[in-house]
Chains A and B, each alone.
Chain A
Amino acid sequence: MKNLMYLLLGIILLISCKKDLAPISGCTDSTATNYNPSAITEDQSCIYFSTTPFVIETPYEFPEMKIPSDNPMTIEGVALGEKLFKDPILSANNTQACIDCHKQNSSFSDPNQFSTGIDDIQGNRNASALINLGWNTSFFWDGRSLTLEEQAFEPVTNTIEMHNTWMNVEIALNSDKEYPFLFKEAFNINYIDSIHVVKAIAQFERSLISTNSKLDRYLRNEEQLTISELNGYVIFNTEKGDCFHCHGTNMFMDNQFHNNGLDTEPFIDLGRAKVTLDVSDNGKFKTPTLRNIEMSAPYMHDGRFATLEEVVEHYDSGGKYSTTVDPLMKKLGVGLQLSNQEKIDLVAYLKTLTDNEFIDSE
């Protein structure tokens, strides 16, 4: 009897040993990227999704950038966004990338008055410079998009721009050799969708920060301005030129919409009113930053002015009358009354906003 008991015990031990010897081992944590649902034994092999934060240091006298909580900046996301920004894969016939109309040496804008899409059709507004966009509260000249993510949806499917469909883009990206890996790395997704494409592009755009112009160096006491530039600085920042009310603070824009007296009524382009449907917004357009303005010619929403001298001449003349001209500019027939030297000084000051490091950086 005793022997039988020993035998039984031995068998039980063997069985239990057997079980120990042949478990399916692997990563048992469902939050890991290599989670093995049939694994019973944890073997410490779990790999977790992780990205490296892309840190944005708030530039001198800038507000903190407001980054959407559902699209935090990462090194991987920015790099992916840059690749997408420069890749014609987003266009229907694989011929046009974002960067073709937002050229870096033009402060990521188009040196042409109007950009031409893949079907050789021109738009009717000048491509915006992409610079310090993270501090903007709306996008496009009429402000119809409230986030960069929302904005990035549009050019891809716009029939006179990239003329593509998001379904095509998703097919192209998912069947690509590199993109599935890069999206997995940046967002931990197995299927590339449009939402993550625009997220990556928005991250790249938020990384395009320019704050190392001659003026910045002057404000940091690292470089001196010339007499002419300083004179322009005074004209700009007082009611003599009254530039600062719209192009103010270190951001050189106010996130608002204004009619700066370019046209008489009826307007060819209603601008902001197209979005708000409010007649008091007729002919108003978003204030662009003046940083790198020297590099982002031509000027105004329709690129009508080729040079900064023409722009200054416009403001000096007081512009054209319409009911919605900004009250600050409604001194029609009066204008700024700047002397020729003062106009030269103002342009010289505007050119201190050029950041060559931004234009030339890799």
Chain B
Amino acid sequence: MKKKLILISIIAFLFTACDKDKPITTDITINFTHTVDSFDLITNSMIYTNDAVEHYDVQTLKYFISNITLHDDLGYTVLKDIHFIDISDESTFSFTYDNLPNNNYYAISYTMGLDTIKNISNAYINEDFHATMFWPDMMGGGYHYMKLEGDFNDSLSGYATHTGGTMGMDYSFNHLDNISLTIDDDLGDVYININMEINNWYNSPNQIEFSSYGMGIMGDMQMQMDIQKNGITDVFSVTIDK
């Protein structure tokens, strides 16, 4: 009888042990959100003003966020290599990474645009964004990092904030945000929001005027650097919803 009992408890133990071995993981969704002066972006509305007091609207916003990575004490997890966001296509506003291992994640990092390794002409030729995002070889090749377009000056003029690797220069930049995210068995799905504050592309530390864009800024290294600095300063922010 005693023997039987021991056997039963061993089997019961094995069963529960098996259950415990099955990894319990969390799905994590990265959302890309867009604000102007902290309010959700409304496209095609002449309601925004930059620090140069130019009234403007936003008609087009397409950009790449790449190297999206979570950092933990022991290493890192790349959630996605390249993500393309198009304000006219809601399906691009998020992606989900399944089965994130239990860990203490202390930071998320990502690249605005495409770094030199990724920014190669025709590297993404079979993607739908290829035809609209490519950057002519004549101007350095690769892809636009961002196309932010609209009107200003009471709709009489247009602006095109096109950033990218002018003549092969790398103006992409990395952003690292500290977070406090402990993934354990009890945690449900997690959402990390990466927000782009659009107006901040134009304000600080460099005040940028659409009226100085001339025939365009794709070949203007100084402008690319100024916009990059603004981007690094305060365009992106991260929040977590659990």
Contacts and interface: CB of A to CB of B under 8 A. Distances in A.
A328 B158 contact: yes
B130 A237 contact: no
Contacts of A242: 215-216
Contacts of B128: 137, 255
Contacts, number: 72
Contacts of A280: 43-44, 59
A255 B138 CA distance: 22
Contact of A63 (B44, B126, B139, B219): B126
A67 B89 CA distance: 23
B131 interface: yes
Given A249-B131, A255-B131, A329 B158 contact: yes
Given A327-B60, A327-B151, A328-B158, A238 B138 contact: yes
Given A63-B130, A237-B136, A321 B156 contact: yes
Contacts of B131: 248-249, 251, 253-256
Given A61-B122, A239-B215, A332 B156 contact: yes
A238 B130 contact: no
Contacts of A255: 128, 131-132
Contacts of A61: 122, 125
A331 B158 contact: yes
Interface string B71-103: 000000000000000000000000000000000
B239 interface: no
In this complex, the interface size class of chain A, counting residues with CB under 8 Å from chain B, is: 20 to 34
A238 B149 contact: no
A231 B137 CA distance: 15
Interface residues of B, number: 29
B110 interface: no
A239 B158 contact: no
B178 interface: no
B134 A249 contact: yes
Q: Is the interface of A mostly helix, strand, loop or mixed?
A: loop
Interface string B146-181: 000111000111111000000000000000000000
B208 interface: no
Contact of A327 (B138, B139, B159, B215): B159
A254 to B, nearest CB: 5
Contacts of A325: 158
Residue among B131, B137, B160, B216 with max Cβ neighbours from chain A (10 Å)? B131
A323 interface: yes
B218 interface: yes
Interface in A35-85: 61-64
A239 B218 contact: yes
Interface string A327-352: 11111100000000000000000000
Contacts of B59: 280, 327
Given A242-B216, A327-B151, 7 more contacts: A248-B131, A249-B131, A254-B132, A255-B132, A327-B150, A328-B158, A331-B158
Interface of A: 61-64, 137, 233-234, 237-240, 242, 244, 248-249, 251, 253-256, 280, 321, 323, 325-332
Closest 5 A/B residue pairs (Cβ): A327-B158, A330-B158, A239-B216, A237-B138, A237-B136
24 contacts: A63-B125, A63-B126, A137-B128, A237-B136, A237-B138, A238-B136, A238-B139, A238-B219, A239-B218, A242-B215, A248-B134, A249-B130, A255-B131, A256-B131, A280-B59, A325-B158, A326-B158, A327-B151, A329-B158, A330-B156, A330-B157, A330-B158, A331-B215, A332-B157
